[in-house]
Structure 1
Amino acid sequence: MSPASSSTASNAPPDRALPKWAEPLLLLGPTGIWLGLLLVIPTLLILELSLVPGIRPGQVVNPSGLDNYALIFQPIYLQVLGRSLFFALGTTIICLLLGFPVAYWIAVMVPKRWQNLLLVGFVLPLWTSSLLRSYAWITILRPTGVINSLLNGVGLPSFDILNRSPAVLVGMSYSLLPYMVLILYASLEKLDRQLLEAAADLGAAPSQVFWRVTVPQTLPGITAGALLVFITGLGDFVDPELLGGASSMTAARLIYNQFLGATQNWGFGSALSSLLILAVSLAIALLLKYGDRSASNV
C-alpha cells in the first residue's frame, strides 16, 4: 500500500452504526415515549370526552358536539372560574410583592458564602407535604389557633378568616412563595451592579434606580415567576379545599366533582379541563414569544 493511500485510509471517517439524523431521535426517544403515554394521549382522551354531552363511566364515547363547552358559560360556572382567576392572580401579586425584596436581599446584599444556605432554608417548607402545610395553617388560623390566642393575650380582638377567601390566599401564597423567590433570585443574581452605581452617580433617586434599572433587567425573571405562580395557583386544589370551605369553590374542585363526585359528568369535567389546558398553553406561548424579546431589549 502506498503512503498516499495509507494516509487517505487513516483520515477516513469511521463507519457510523446509525445515520446522523437518527442520533437525536435515539436520545429523545425515551422522553418522547414517556410524554406521549402520560401527557399527549391523556390530553387527547380528555379532549374527546369533552365533546360527549353528559357521558358517565361505562357509556360509549361518541363525540357529538360542543354542548359541554356551552355549559361553562352559565353564570354559576363563570363565577367559579372568576374565583379561580382571583385566587391565582391575588396569589401572584402577593408572592411578587413579598418575594422580590427577599430575592433582592439574598442576591445583592448577602455575602456569597451565605446565599446557598439561605436559599435552602427558604425552600425548606417545600420538603414537607402540601397537605401537611395546609393543616398547619388551619391550626394557625382557626378561632382558637395560634394567632387569635396571641391577639387575645395582648387584649386585641380576634379575627376569623378560616373558611374564607383570605385564608385561601394566605395558604396559596405560602405554598408558592419559594418558587417566586428562586426564579427572582436567579434573575437578580445576574444584575449588572455597574449600571446601579452609574445611575446613583448621575443623581438618580433609589426609586428611579429601581424602576429604570433594576426592574428592566429582571423583567424576564419577573414574568417567568409570575407565570409559574399563576399557572400553579390556577390549578391548586388542596388549599382552597381545606382553607376555603364550601364557599370557595374553584375550577379544580369543580373538575374533581365532575369525575369523582356525586354528579359524575365526565364530559363537562373534560371540557373544563380542556379550557384550563388551553389557557395555560396560551400563557406559556406568550411567555416564549415575548419573554425573549423583553430580555433582548434590556
Structure 2
Amino acid sequence: MTEEKPIPEEQKPDGSYTVFHGGLLKKKALTRRGIGFVSPGFIWSLIFLVIPCLSLFIVSFASRGDYGQIEWNFTIDNMRRLAGFGFFGWSADNLLIVWRSILVAVVTTFLCVVLSYPLAFFLASRPDKTRTIWLALLLIPFWTNLVIRTYAWFLALAPNMPLSLLLQNIGAIEPGQPLYPSTFAVYLGMVSMFLPFVALPLYTAVEKMDWALVEAAHDLYASRWRVFRHAILPQTMPGLSVGITLTLVPAMGMFVVPDMLGGSRYMLIGNLIQQQFGTSRDWPFGAALSLVLMLLTLSALMASRRKELKKAEA
C-alpha cells in the first residue's frame, strides 16, 4: 500500500490552521494559469492572423490614387470591379479567373488523390529496409525551391525532350514546339508539387488498415469497386481528408506554377493578386481579391469540417 501524503497546512496568527488543497482547485489560480497557457497562442493569432485580415478588409474598401498610393476614400468600387462592373461596362473576366482557380484546384486535388492511392499502397507494401528510401525519394522535391522545380519542367517539356518528341511524332504538336505554356504543363506542375501532400497522409492511413475487413469483403465475392468502397475507403478517410485539405486550399492561391508554365494565357486568382500588389500597384483591388480567396479557402475548410462531424456523429 502507498503511503498518503499529508495535506499542506499553514498556521494563522491566531493559532488556527488553513488547509491547502492545491492551487488548481482555486478559481483565481486556475484562471491565471489558463490565461497564461492561452495568451501566447492568442497573441500570435491576433498579430499574424486577425490584424492582417482586418487590414485587408479595410484596404479593400479604399481607393487607389493616381500614383498607386492608397487613398482612404471608402467605396464599394473594388467589389463592383470584382463582380465584373468596370469603366467599359460589365465583363466576366474576373469571375472567369475565380472559376478557373476553383476548377484548377479541384482537378489538381482529384488527380493527386487518384495517383496517391496506388502510391500509398506501394509504399506500405515495401519491406522495412527499403521503405525509408522510397519515402525519401517522395520527399526529395521538398528539398528544392519551388521556382527551381518549376524551371526543371522547362527542361523536361522542351522540344528536344522525349515527351515532346513523342507527341511530335504522332502529330499532336507541331515540330519544334515545347509543351509549355499550356494547360497540360500547368496541371503537370501542380500535381507534381502537391502529390506528396496527399500521398503521405494516405500512406499513414494505409499502414494502419485492418486487412481482415478487406479479406472479408473478398470472401463475400465483392467486386473490386465494392471492396474499395466499403473496406478500404472508410479506413483511409482520415488520411484522405487531411490530404484533400492540404492540397485544395493552397492550390486555389497558387501563382508560381500557373505563371511560369501557363503563361499570360492561364491567369488564376493568385496571379491576379500578385499582379495587383506588384506591377499594377492597385492594393485596394488586390485586397478585395485576397478576401475572395480567403472566403473560398474558409468555405473549403468548413465543408471538410462539416463532413467530418457528420461522419463522427454517424
Correspondence 1:188-207 to 2 at 5 A: 188-207=206-225
Q: Tell me if structure 1 keeps the 8 A contact 2:63–2:71.
A: no
| Residue in 2 that maps onto 1:39 | 49
CA 1:162–1:270: 2 relative to 1, 3 Å: same
Q: Secondary structure at the match of 1:246?
A: helix
| Residue in 1 that maps onto 2:8 | 9
When Rg is computed on C-alpha atoms for both structures, the one with the higher figure is 2
TM-score, with structure 1 as normaliser:
0.86
| Residue in 2 that maps onto 1:19 | 29
236, 258, 279: which one aligns with 1:240: 258
Q: Which has the higher strand share?
A: 2
| Residue in 1 that maps onto 2:183 | 165
* Structure with more contact order per residue of length (Cα contacts < 8 Å, sep ≥ 6): 1
Q: Tell me if structure 2 keeps the 8 A contact 1:251–1:272.
A: yes
Deviations 1:102-139 (A, max 9, x none): 012223x2234543432222111111100000000011
142, 149, 155: which one aligns with 1:133: 149
Correspondence 1:106-125 to 2 at 5 A: 106-107=123-124, 109-125=125-141
- Comparing 86-95 with 244-253, greater Cα deviation is found at 86-95
Deviation at 1:46, TM superposition (A): 0.5
Cα root mean square deviation, aligned? 2.6
The one-letter code sitting in structure 2 at the alignment partner of 1:171 is G
CA 1:140–1:19: 2 relative to 1, 3 Å: same
The one-letter code sitting in structure 1 at the alignment partner of 2:99 is G
CA distance in 2, matches of 1:205, 1:150: 37
Identity of aligned residues (%): 30
CA distance in 2, matches of 1:295, 1:118: 33
Residue 257, structure 1, aligned to residue 284, structure 2: no
Deviation at 1:192, TM superposition (A): 1.7
Q: Secondary structure at the match of 1:123?
A: helix
The one-letter code sitting in structure 2 at the alignment partner of 1:12 is F
5+ unaligned residues in a row in structure 1: which ranges? Answer: 1-5
Deviation at 1:7, TM superposition (A): 4.5
| Residue in 2 that maps onto 1:184 | 202
TM-score, with structure 2 as normaliser:
0.82
| Residue in 1 that maps onto 2:59 | 49
CA 1:13–1:71: 2 relative to 1, 3 Å: same
| Residue in 2 that maps onto 1:3 | none
Q: Tell me if structure 1 keeps the 8 A contact 2:62–2:71.
A: no
- Comparing 40-49 with 196-205, greater Cα deviation is found at 196-205
Q: Tell me if structure 1 keeps the 8 A contact 2:157–2:179.
A: yes
5+ unaligned residues in a row in structure 2: which ranges? Answer: 10-18, 85-91
| Residue in 1 that maps onto 2:163 | 147
Deviations 1:242-273 (A, max 9, x none): 10111011111111111111x32211111110
Residue 97, structure 1, aligned to residue 114, structure 2: yes
Residue 63, structure 1, aligned to residue 74, structure 2: yes
CA distance in 2, matches of 1:264, 1:127: 33
